[in-house]
Amino acid sequence: MHIGFIGLGHLGKAIATRLLDCSHTLTVWNRTPAKAQGMRATVAQSPAAVADCELIFLCMFDSTAVNSVLTGDNGLLSGRIAGKIIVDVSTNHFKNVTAFHELCAKAGCTYLESPVLGSVVPATQGALTVLVSGSEAGFKTVRPVLENIGKHLFYMGEPGQATKMKLINNLALGTFMATLAEALVMAEDCGMDRAEVLDILAAGGGSSLVLNAKKEKLRTGDFSTHFSSALIYKDLHCLQDLAYEQKKTLFTGAVIKELFARTFEQGIAQEDFSAIYKIFKRKN
C-alpha cells in the first residue's frame, strides 16, 4: 500500500521504517526535512501533498502539533482528503482528540485515534500495542496495516477512550520507571554492583516490561532517546487534567509528574525517560 506518514521523530521514524520493511511505499513529511534523509520514501513539500495517499499516519509530539498539521497552511485537511483514513498514533490530550474526530468527519475523511504502547525498539519489531477509537469500519479496513506495527490491537470504540487508556497506561509506565531508578540508586549507595542489582530486580519485585526494556540503558548509562522525559511529562500532565475532570485524586501520578519535571530543571528532558535515574543519583 502507498502510505503517507507525517512526523519523523524517534517513534515516528521507527514506525515508518517498519512499514517500509513490510513492503509498503511511503510519502513522508516532517517539519525538518533532514529527518527523512536515508529513508526509501518520497518527501512531500507539505502535509496537504500527503493527502494524495490512501492511508495517512500522524505521529506528532502533542495535540498542538497535530492540529497544526491538520488545519495549518497547506494542512492535511486542505488536500484531497475526502474518503481517506487518518491513523493518528500521537498521544493527544483527551479533549483535543475528540475535536480531531469532528474536524476530519467534516472534511469527509475517517480519523482513527490510535495511540501506541511501546517505543522505538518494539516499533522496529512490529511489536507495539495499538489502541484504537473511532469508526469500526475504518479500523477493520486498516487492521492489516496496523498488524504490521502492532503485536496487540485493542479496538475501544468511543472517541477519546483510546487516548484516556494511553494516559492511564503511562501512569503505570512512569511510576515503574521512577521506582526502578530509585531502587537502583539506593542499592548503589549501599555499595552494591549496578549490574547485579539490575539482575536481582529482574528476578524479583522489579520484573516488568519496563525493566526489560530499560535494563541495558540503566546498566550502561546510555540514555539516548527512545521515549523522552519531555513526552511522559506531557502525558502525565494530560492525565492530571483527566483526573480533574473526573474529580478523582491522582496520588502517584502527581508525584511522578513532578519528578519528571525535574528533568527540565536538570537539562535532561530530551533524553530517554530512563534518565530519571540521574535525578535520584545526583547528590543535593
Last residue of one domain, picked from the residues 157, 173, 197? 157
Average pLDDT rounded to a whole number, residues 49-56:
95
Residue 282: per-residue pLDDT:
80
Summarize the confidence of residues 30-34 as an average pLDDT.
92
Which pTM does this prediction carry?
Answer: 0.94
13 & 93 share domain: yes
Residues 51/4, Cβ–Cβ less than 8 Å: yes
DSSP-derived pairing of the beta strands 116-117 and 128-133: antiparallel
CATH number at 143 reads 3.40.50.720
- If pLDDT is split at 50, 70 and 90, which confidence band does 209 have? very high
150, 239: one domain: no
Query: Is 116 in the same domain as 16?
Result: yes
| Residues 136 and 171 grouped into a single domain | no
Residues 256 and 202 in one domain: yes
The DSSP bridge partners found for residue 228 are: 272
Whether residues 270 and 180 share a domain: the answer is yes
Q: Which residues contact 21 (CB under 8 A, 6 or more apart)?
A: none
Give CA separation, 116 vs 44, 45, 283, in Å.
25, 27, 35
C-alpha cell at 55: 492511508
Residues annotated as catalytic are 166
Domain limits for position 270: 164-281
How far is it, in rounded angstroms, from Cα 205 to Cα 200? 9
User: What per-residue confidence (pLDDT) applies to 123?
Assistant: 96
The per-residue pLDDT for 63 is 97
Q: Tell whether the model's pLDDT for residue 284 goes beyond 60.
A: no
What pLDDT, on a 0 to 100 scale, did the predictor assign at position 133? 98
Is 271 a residue whose pLDDT tops 60? yes
Is there a single domain that holds both residue 62 and residue 171?
no
Whether residues 13 and 121 share a domain: the answer is yes
Choose one of 96, 125, 157: the last residue of a domain.
157
Phi, psi values for residue 274, rounded to 5°: -70, -15
| Phi and psi, residue 182, nearest 5° | -65, -40
Cβ atoms within 10 Å, residue 136: 12
State the average pLDDT over residues 198-222. Answer: 97
pLDDT at residue 21 greater than cutoff 80: yes
Report which of 269, 177, 264, 171 is spatially closest to residue 218, judged by C-alpha positions. Answer: 177
Give me the chain's average pLDDT, please: 96
pLDDT confidence tier of residue 162, bands split at 50, 70 and 90: very high
pLDDT at 283: 63
Instruction: Supply the pLDDT for residue 61.
Output: 95
Of 126, 130, 129, 137, the residue nearest 113 (C-alpha) = 130
- Cell numbers 509498503 correspond to 24
Residue 265 φ then ψ, to 5°? -60, -35
- Note whether 133 and 61 are same-domain residues: yes
